[in-house]
Chain A
Amino acid sequence: MCGIAGIARESPTGVTANSLGRMAAAIRHRGPDGYGFYVGQKVGFAHVRLSIIDVAGGAQPLTNEDGQIVITYNGEVYNHPELRRELEERGHVFRTQTDTEVLVHGYEEWGVDVLHRLNGQFAFAIYDRARETVFVARDRFGVRPLFYAQRNGDFYFGSEIKAILACGEVDAAPDCRGLHEALTLWGSRPPRTPFSGIASLEPGTYGLWKDGALFLRQYYELDYPESSEEPADAIEQLDELMLRSVGMRMRADVPVGAYVSGGLDSSITASLAASSSPHTLRSFSITFDDPRFDESGFQREVADAVGSIHSVASIGPGTIAETFPKVLWHTETPLLRTAPVPMYHLARLTKEAGIKVVLTGEGADELFLGYDLFKEVSVRRFCQRRPNSPGRERLFDRLYPYLGQQGRGGEFWRKFFLEAGEPDDPLFSHMPRFLLSARMKEFYTPEFRNGLGGVDVIAELRASLPTRFFAWSSLNRAAYLEMTTLLSTYLLSAQGDRMAMAHGVEGRFPFLDHRLFEFAASLPTGSRLRGLREKEILRRWASRVLPPGIKRRGKQPYRAPDAPSFFASGSPDWIADQLGPDALRRVGIFSAPAVDGLLRRCRAGVATGFRENQAIVGILSTQLWHQQFIQSSHEIDPLPIANASVVLGDTVPALF
Chain B
Amino acid sequence: MQTTESEIAISRMAIISRVRGFVQENFLYMMPDFVLADDDRLLEKGVVDSMGIAELISFIEAEFGVIAAEDEISEANFGSLDAIAQFVAGRLALALG
Bound: A126/B57 CA distance, A: 63
For A600, list chain B residues within 8 Å (CB). 29
B29-56 residues with Cβ-Cβ distance < 8 A to A are 29-32, 43-44, 46, 48-55
Bound: A484/B55 CA distance, A: 36
Check A411/B73 contact, CB under 8 A, given A419-B44, A597-B30.
Answer: yes
Label chain B's interface by main secondary structure. helix
Q: Chain B residue with minimal CB distance to A595?
A: B30
Bound: A597/B57 CA distance, A: 20
Q: Indicate if A601 sits at the interface (CB-CB under 8 A).
A: yes
Q: Indicate if B17 sits at the interface (CB-CB under 8 A).
A: no
Bound: A608/B57 CA distance, A: 15
Q: Which of A307-315, A347-355, A373-381, A436-444 faces chain B?
A: A436-444
Task: Please count how many residues in chain B sit with their CB below 8 Å of the partner chain's CB atoms.
Answer: 24
Q: Check A416 against B43 for contact (C-beta < 8 Å).
A: yes
Q: Indicate if B70 sits at the interface (CB-CB under 8 A).
A: yes
Q: Chain A residue with minimal CB distance to B34?
A: A442
Bound: A182/B53 CA distance, A: 28
Residue of B50, B57, B75 contacting most chain A CB atoms (<10 Å): B50
Q: Indicate if A609 sits at the interface (CB-CB under 8 A).
A: yes
B75's contact among A415, A609, A611, by CB below 8 Å, is which? A415
Bound: A600/B49 CA distance, A: 19
For B2, list chain A residues within 8 Å (CB). none
Bound: A413/B31 CA distance, A: 22
Bound: A317/B42 CA distance, A: 35
Q: Check B55 against A406 for contact (C-beta < 8 Å).
A: no
Q: Check B32 against A610 for contact (C-beta < 8 Å).
A: no
B29's contact among A403, A435, A594, A608, by CB below 8 Å, is which? A594
Q: Chain A residue with minimal CB distance to B30?
A: A594
A610's contact among B49, B58, B70, B75, by CB below 8 Å, is which? B49
Q: Check A416 against B26 for contact (C-beta < 8 Å).
A: no
Check A410/B73 contact, CB under 8 A, given A439-B46, A609-B50, A611-B49.
Answer: yes
A390-421 residues with Cβ-Cβ distance < 8 A to B are 403, 406-413, 415-416, 419
Q: Check A598 against B51 for contact (C-beta < 8 Å).
A: no
Q: Check A598 against B55 for contact (C-beta < 8 Å).
A: no
Q: Indicate if B74 sits at the interface (CB-CB under 8 A).
A: yes
Bound: A408/B43 CA distance, A: 15
Q: Check A442 against B49 for contact (C-beta < 8 Å).
A: no
For A415, list chain B residues within 8 Å (CB). 43, 75
For A597, list chain B residues within 8 Å (CB). 25, 29-30
Q: Chain A residue with minimal CB distance to B26?
A: A601
22 contacts between A and B (CB under 8 A): A406-B54, A408-B54, A408-B58, A409-B73, A410-B70, A410-B73, A411-B73, A411-B74, A412-B43, A412-B48, A412-B49, A412-B75, A413-B49, A413-B53, A416-B49, A439-B46, A598-B30, A606-B55, A609-B49, A610-B49, A611-B52, A615-B30
Residues of B at the A interface (CB closer than 8 Å) are 25-26, 29-32, 43-44, 46, 48-55, 57-58, 70, 73-75, 78
**20 further A-B pairs in the complex, CB-CB below 8 A; given A419-B44, A609-B49:** A406-B51, A406-B54, A407-B70, A408-B57, A408-B70, A408-B73, A409-B50, A409-B54, A412-B50, A413-B49, A415-B75, A416-B49, A416-B50, A419-B43, A594-B29, A594-B30, A598-B29, A609-B50, A611-B49, A611-B52
